[in-house]
Chain A
C-alpha cells in the first residue's frame, strides 16, 4: 500500500536507502553484519553507498566487531542483522556494550509489519528481548519514521553515559518510500557539572592528605586522560584504573598502580591507606575486595560520573560531581592546591606481581609489537594477565569485555578495532575462549586484517580450574579441555599463518620467530595446565 502511494508521488526514496543515507550522514565508513531475508533491501542500498560492509562469520562476531570499532574510534559502531536468529545472536554483544557503556547502533530487519505477532518464520520480538541490555530501543512502523529513528539512535548511543540502541525495522517498511531530507547530525554537547559540586570536591581534595584516584571508562570516553594525570601529579595521587580505564594512566607515571583486581596487592593496599578515594568515570562492581575495604574503613568517597544514577548506587559517596569527566576536571584543576609527597606504606612493599609463562609471553609480545597496536582479550586467566602485563600508554588501545566477561569477545573486537584505526591488533586469548569464536579468523583472512592471535593454550578453562581448585573440587572434567587441536594447522587451513610454540621454548626467541611472517597469524603457545593456578 505504502509503495503504491510512493510511486504515485515520485521524488521519494526507499526506506532502505533512507537508512543508508542516514548512516552516511553520521560519517560511518564501516559497518559489520550478516544478511538474511528481512534485511536484504538494506544490502541492496549499501551496494550503492560509500559504506564498507564487513561480512563476519556470525552475528555475534559482527556485534563484537562493531563494539571494537566503537571502543577504538570513540564513535558509535554499527551492526546489521536479520530477524529472528540473526537478531538474537546480537544479544550477547548488546549486553556487553551495555555493561561497558559502549555506543552501538544495532539495526535489525524484522518480518513484514502485517506478520508481526503471528509467530511468523524467523520472527522474534527483539525489541522486548533486548530491552534489559540496551539503553533504548525503537520499532519503526513507517518509512517516514526511519530517518528520525536512526538519528535519535545515534544521538542516544553517543550522549551522556553511552550505550547500545536497537532499531528494529519490518522488512516491508524498508521497501516503502518516504521523503528524505539530508541533515548534518547534531552532536550532543557534554554536560558540565554545577559549580557548587566542583567547589565542594576541591575542598575535599585540599583537606585530604593521601588522595587516590580510580579512573574508569568515563575518563577514557570523555578524553580526560591528560587532565586526569595533571590532577594526579598536582595532588601526588596514586592512580589505579578499572579494565575500562586502562591507558588513562601511563605505566611510567611514578604513582601508577596498574589495574585494580584482587591479584594487584599493591593497589589493594594503597586503597586501604588512602584518606580520599576519588573515582573518575568508574563504577563499583561486586568483584574486588578493595571495595569492601573502602566500606569497612569508612574511607570518604568522591565520585565524578556522568550518570547521576551511579552516585550512591553500590557505595555511599561523601560527595559527587555529576557531569562529563573532562569538563569536571577542567573546572576542578585550578581550584585544587598542589600537594607535597605523602608517606604511603605500599611504597615499601615488594613488587608481588604474578609472574608465569603466560605473563612473560604477553610482555614479550607487546614489547616486540610496539606501542602503536591495539590489544584485545577474551575472558579467562589470560585476561587478567594481559590487563596487568600489556604496557598501554593511551586509552582505546586495550579492549576487553569488562562488565559482562564475555568469552569470544577478542576476535571480533580486534577486527572492528582494525577497521577503525588501521592498527595491527594483538588478540590475547586462551584455548577455551578461542574455541568460541575462531570462526572470525576467516573474516580476518578475507579482509587482510593484520591480527596476531596469541592462544595461551593450557588445555583447560584456566579461570574455572582456579575457582575449582579454591573450592576443593576433585573432579575437574568440566574445565579440562585436552582437545588435541593443532591450532597452527587450523589457522593454515583457514588461510592464515600458524605457529606452535612448545612449553620449553625461550619466550623472547619464540615471539620473534612467530612474528616474522605474514599476518594474520595464530600462535599456539603451549602452557602447563597449572600455569597461574
Chain B
C-alpha cells in the first residue's frame, strides 16, 4: 500500500436503474476503497458519467479498470493521468465567527478564492471550488476557527484538450 497514489477514474455508463449499485458493489466486493464518487448526467442522455477517486497502487488501479471494463453497463473507462486532467471539488463550510474575527475569514476567502454565501451575526457559510489539495488546505486553515459543519462533493474531472470519452468510443 506504500506506493498508493490518488487516481481519478472516469467511467461512462448506461443511464439506467441499478448501474450505480452494480458499480459501487464492484468496489466494495473487491475491496477497492472509494475516496470520492460523483455521478452526473452527460451531454448524451443515454449515458451517465461516474467520476471515481481512489487511493491505490498502480497494479490495483489496472485491475479496477479491467474489472470496470468488463461490466455490461460500462461504455468507456479512462484512468486519468493527474497532470493532464482538470479536477474540481465543491466545498460548503460553516464557521462560527462574528464581530472582529469576521474580517480574518474574509481575508482567507480572498486568498483561496472562496465566497461567503450566508452570513449571520455569529456564523458564516463559505463556498470553495478547487482541487482536492486546495480544498483540503482551506479546511485545514479554517480548523483553528470553530467549524460548525461542512459538506463536500466528490470530484468532477475532465481530460484537458479537445478529446472526449464519447469521441474515444467512436474511434
Contacts and interface: CB of A to CB of B under 8 A. Distances in A.
B25 A307 contact: no
Nearest to A313: B63
Nearest to B68: A309
B67 A309 contact: yes
B66 interface: yes
A309 B70 contact: yes
B121 interface: no
Interface stretch (B15-23, B41-49, B122-130): B15-23
B66 A309 contact: yes
B69 A139 contact: no
Interface in B41-93: 59, 62-63, 66-67, 69-70, 72
B63 A309 contact: yes
B29 interface: yes
A159 to B, nearest CB: 10
Interface in A119-158: 127-128, 131-132, 135-137, 139, 156
A128 B19 CA distance: 11
Given A132-B29, A156-B72, A308 B66 contact: yes
Interface residues of B, number: 14
A127 B19 CA distance: 11
Interface residues of A, number: 18
Nearest to A311: B66
A512 interface: no
B18 A139 contact: yes
A132 B21 CA distance: 10
B21 to A, nearest CB: 7
A308 B69 contact: yes
A131 B70 contact: no
Contacts of A156: 72
A312 interface: yes
B71 to A, nearest CB: 9
Interface in B22-46: 22, 25, 29
Q: Decide if the interface of chain A is mainly helix, strand, loop or mixed.
A: mixed
Nearest to A156: B72
Contacts of A139: 17-18
A156 B70 CA distance: 11
B78 to A, nearest CB: 16
Interface string A293-330: 00000000000000111011100100000000000000
Contacts of A132: 25, 29
Contacts of A311: 66
Nearest to B71: A136
Given A131-B25, A132-B25, A307-B70, A312 B18 contact: no
A136 B19 CA distance: 10
A131 B69 CA distance: 17
Contacts of B21: 128, 131
A308 B70 contact: yes
Nearest to A128: B21
Interface string A216-257: 000000000000000000000000000000000000000000
Contacts of B66: 308-309, 311, 313
A309 B71 CA distance: 11
B67 to A, nearest CB: 5
Contacts of B59: 312, 316
A156 B21 CA distance: 20
Interface of B: 17-18, 21-22, 25, 29, 59, 62-63, 66-67, 69-70, 72
Interface of A: 127-128, 131-132, 135-137, 139, 156, 160-161, 307-309, 311-313, 316
Given A131-B18, A136-B72, A308-B70, 19 more contacts: A131-B21, A131-B22, A131-B25, A132-B25, A132-B29, A137-B18, A139-B17, A139-B18, A161-B70, A308-B66, A308-B69, A309-B67, A309-B69, A309-B70, A311-B66, A312-B63, A313-B63, A313-B66, A316-B59
